[in-house]
Structure formats: structure tokens, C-alpha cells
Amino acid sequence: MTHQPASIFANCSRYYGELEDVFQVCVNSTNPCQSMERIETAITISNVDYYSSLVLFSIAGLMNIYCLFVLLPLYRKLQNDSKKKYIFLITRCIAGLLAACAWLLIQCIYLKSIAPANGIVPGYVLALVLYIGSIYVLLGSYVSMAGILYLGVLKPIIFNQYLTLQVVYIAVCIIFFIAIVLSIPLAIFQASIAIPVSIKCTDKSCNPLVTLIHFFLVTGSLVITNIILSFVLISLLRHRKVFMKLDTESNASLNSAIRLLAWTLFAVILISIGEVIPFVFMEIRRHAGTITGCYWFYHASEIISEASFALIESSIWSVALIMDPLINVILDKTVSRQAKNQVRSMKNQCFRLAQTITGHFSRKKKIEEEKEVCQEQTTQTELIFPPRPEQLINI
């Protein structure tokens, strides 16, 4: 008769379900009950991250679609000089929509519902391409819009004579081209790190190089974007201080541009925090050595930290992607006026539709009432003037 070893969770106050079977082999834990409680806490944080991401990134996608719904009709009616600025607002909304879709694919569909399989999963690679590409398109549109504002206010001759609409279109194409060129190889190699594929990318081969390249590209792009936006914002603030009393109408437009640029800088700072800090934390943890299931059980508090960082990262991104199109609509007077006109038009259409529906039913009701009145009059006539005997005989 074989002797069954006692469970390491025998002294715990409650049963932890299937988790006990997973970590039963981790017999070197000094306090297995506390470790299990921390692991359950990390699972709870991960579930909060999943469901909040599902809701918030869906809202972010809808907000960017609404921003495009407002901007595209407005863009067709603008003059060429005005189109130079608003093309990058449209680019921002497209990038925000792609980023929201990428987050939903990676975090809420792939990682939650589909286990990594052998070979490159096309959906996972596509999500990574959308995610990485949207970052560069978003940053490129931020920098380009800041450049448009700088040239339009401080260098009007260059803005009017040399910066044509065709040049702006070429700049947009270059932004998307660079984003595609950078995102596709990085996405493939990052997928090969997470999933066993024919392209071997292990800790001893390409993994450190790919991680380093991606880190320097993203960090460098964020730093350059922050520097350019800060420079343009300071330049516009100084310009407003000098010419504050000269032209009230121009000052109003300048104030709107400064507010929009200030929000853009704040959004980039948020994205920088959401990208760099979790990335650095995860890299430090990865270089700590070989990590097994029992390692996480013995250091369960670190699982809570990683789950919390993942929640913070997704929350920062979702807030930035929700607020960015909303701020674009609110702070820009032309866009805000277009949104109000669309809301007013929708209200009028709904009112006319309601009038049409109620008018149809009221006419139908009126006809039925007229029929009832006619029937009542006929009945009263027959009661007052009964038919003659010869009429009855004929009947």
C-alpha cells in the first residue's frame, strides 16, 4: 500500500480548486496558502483588465469612428489651406481606430480565447502589425500637425508658398509607409518570441536584438515627439504673448490651436508612460533568469505587480484613445461647429420622421373615425325613417 503525501494546502482555510493541482509540486514554499491568495488576487486583476479593456477599447473605437464621421464631410468642404491641418486630424482618428482594434484583438480575443499554437498565428501577427503600426502613425500625425501649426503661425510664407496640399498628402503616405515597413518585421519576430515557429527567436539568438531595436524605436519616437511638441507649444505661447492685443480673431484661433497642442502633448506623455514603464519592468523581470511555474508560486507578489502593470498600461491607452478624438471635436471650433450642425440635422430628421409616423397613424385614425361617424348617421337615419312596406316587400 502506497502512502499518499499530504497536500501542501492541507492547512489552508479553504479549497482553491484546480490551482491546487497546478502548484501541488511546488513543495518549497514557506507559506503556500498566502501564495495561493496572491495568485487569486492577480487573476482577479487580470479579469478586471480583460473586461475593462473590452468595454473601454470598444468605446475608443466608436469615438474614433464618430470623429471620422464628423471630419470627413467637413474636409470635403474646406479650402486647400485648411485641409493641410485637418488631414492630420483624420490620420489621428484612423490611427486611434487601428490601435483600439489591435488592443481588442491582442488582449480581449487572442490572449483570452485562443491559446498560442505552433506556427505563426495570422491573427496574432495582424494584431501586432496594427498595434505597432498605429503607434508610429499616431506619433507621425502628432508631429506633422504640430509642424503645420508652427509653419502656419510663425512661418506663413513657407506655409502658403511651399507647403502645398500635395506635399501634405506625400507626408501622410510617408508616415503610413514607414509604419508598415517597421511594424511587419517587428510583429513577425515578436510573434516568434511568444509562439514556437520556423523562425527561431530565442533568448540566445534574436530575442535580445529584436527587443532592443523595438525599445529604441518606440522610445526614440516618443522622445522626439515630446521634444517637437514641447518646442512648438512654447513657440506658440511666446507668439501669443507678443501679439495678444493686435488681432482678437487671430488670437481666438491661436488659443484653440494652443489648447489642442497642449492636449496632444499630454496624450503623448500618457502614451509614453503606458509604453516605456511596463516595457522596462517586464525586461528587468525577463533578465532575472529562467522563470518556471513554481517560481511564480514562490514569488506570487510579483504576479500581482505584473498584472497591475498590464492593467495600468491598458487603462492609459484606453483613456488616451477615448479622449483624443473627443478633444479634437471639442477644442477645434470648426470641427465643433460641424458636430453641432450634424446633431441638429439628426434631431430635425428624427423629428420629421416622428411627424411622418404620427401623421400616418393620425390620418388612419381619422379615416376610421369618419367611417364610424358615417355608420352611426346611417343607423340613426334608419331609426328615424323606417323603411316602407313596399320597400320591405322588394327586399
**Lowest-confidence pick of 7-11, 35-39, 150-154:** 7-11
Residue type for 318, please? S
Cα 67 to Cα 55, 227, 325: the distances in Å are: 18, 27, 6
DSSP letter for 9, please. T
Report if residue 389 sits inside a domain. Answer: yes
Residue type for 282, please? M
pLDDT score of 21: 72
Closest Cα partner for 272 from 208, 327, 224?
A: 224
Taking the C-alpha atoms of residue 82 and residue 306, their distance in angstroms, rounded to an integer, is 46
Angle of the 207-242 helix axis to the 248-286 helix axis, nearest 10: 160
Per the structure, the complete domain to which residue 365 belongs is given by 347-394
Verify that 362 and 316 share a domain, yes or no: no
**What would the mean pLDDT of 70-86 be, rounded to a whole number?**
85
Report if residue 317 sits inside a domain. Answer: yes
Q: Is 119 helix (H, G, I), strand (E, B) or coil?
A: coil
Verify that 130 and 68 share a domain, yes or no: yes
Taking the C-alpha atoms of residue 314 and residue 46, their distance in angstroms, rounded to an integer, is 11
Residue 302's Cα: distance from chain center in Å? 28
Per-residue confidence at 59, pLDDT binned at 50, 70, 90?
very high
pLDDT score of 205: 62
Verify that 370 and 284 share a domain, yes or no: no
Is the model's pTM score more than 0.85?
no
Report if residue 21 sits inside a domain. Answer: no
**What would the mean pLDDT of 184-202 be, rounded to a whole number?**
68
User: 245 pLDDT exceeds 70?
Assistant: no
pLDDT score of 137: 92
Cα 288 to Cα 26, 89, 205, 303, 326: the distances in Å are: 20, 43, 18, 14, 42
In sequence order, what DSSP letters do the residues of 251-279 get, joined into one string? Answer: HHHHHHHHHHHHHHHHHHHHHHHHHHHHH
8 Å CB contact between 313 and 270? no
Report if residue 6 sits inside a domain. Answer: no
Report if residue 336 sits inside a domain. Answer: no
Verify that 260 and 385 share a domain, yes or no: no
In sequence order, what DSSP letters do the residues of 210-225 get, joined into one string? Answer: HHHHHHHHHHHHHHHH
Higher pLDDT, 227 or 15: 227
Taking only the tens place, the pLDDT of each residue in 209-239 is: 777 787 788 888 889 999 999 999 998 888 8
Report if residue 99 sits inside a domain. Answer: yes
pLDDT score of 3: 44
Helix, strand and coil content of the chain, in percent to the nearest 5, comes to 80, 0, 20
Domain-terminating residue out of 296, 331, 366: 331
**Number of folded domains in the chain?**
2
Half-sphere exposure of 149 (CA within 13 A, CB side): 33
Verify that 96 and 196 share a domain, yes or no: yes
**Lowest-confidence pick of 57-66, 198-207, 290-299:** 198-207
Per-residue confidence at 329, pLDDT binned at 50, 70, 90?
confident
Verify that 61 and 186 share a domain, yes or no: yes
Cell of 246: 493686435
Higher pLDDT, 196 or 321: 321
Verify that 71 and 150 share a domain, yes or no: yes
8 Å CB contact between 314 and 107? yes
Verify that 381 and 236 share a domain, yes or no: no
**What would the mean pLDDT of 2-12 be, rounded to a whole number?**
63
**What would the mean pLDDT of 136-156 be, rounded to a whole number?**
88
DSSP letter for 120, please. -
Report if residue 95 sits inside a domain. Answer: yes
Domain-terminating residue out of 331, 360, 383: 331
Taking the C-alpha atoms of residue 133 and residue 181, their distance in angstroms, rounded to an integer, is 9
Per-residue confidence at 244, pLDDT binned at 50, 70, 90?
low
Taking the C-alpha atoms of residue 257 and residue 268, their distance in angstroms, rounded to an integer, is 16
Verify that 225 and 355 share a domain, yes or no: no
**What would the mean pLDDT of 156-178 be, rounded to a whole number?**
89
Report if residue 150 sits inside a domain. Answer: yes
pLDDT score of 44: 87
Q: What is the CATH number of the domain that holds 38?
A: 1.20.1070.10
**Angle (nearest 5°) at CA 16 between 12 and 21:** 105
Verify that 326 and 353 share a domain, yes or no: no
Verify that 204 and 123 share a domain, yes or no: yes
Taking only the tens place, the pLDDT of each residue in 279-319 is: 666 666 555 544 555 776 777 777 788 788 888 888 888 88
8 Å CB contact between 129 and 183? yes
Query: Look-up: residue for cell 489648447?
Result: 259
Query: Look-up: residue for cell 522596462?
Result: 280
Verify that 310 and 257 share a domain, yes or no: yes
Higher pLDDT, 347 or 201: 347
Domain-terminating residue out of 286, 307, 331: 331
Taking the C-alpha atoms of residue 190 and residue 129, their distance in angstroms, rounded to an integer, is 10
For residue 189, count CB atoms less than 10 angstroms from its CB and return exposed for 0-12, middle for 13-18, buried for 19 or more.
Answer: buried
Taking only the tens place, the pLDDT of each residue in 348-392 is: 888 888 777 776 666 666 666 666 666 666 655 555 555 555 544
8 Å CB contact between 232 and 146? yes
Query: Look-up: residue for cell 533578465?
Result: 287
Closest Cα partner for 339 from 84, 76, 67, 145?
A: 67
pLDDT score of 95: 92
Query: Look-up: residue for cell 473586461?
Result: 51
Per DSSP, helices labelled H in 79-121 are 80-103, 111-113
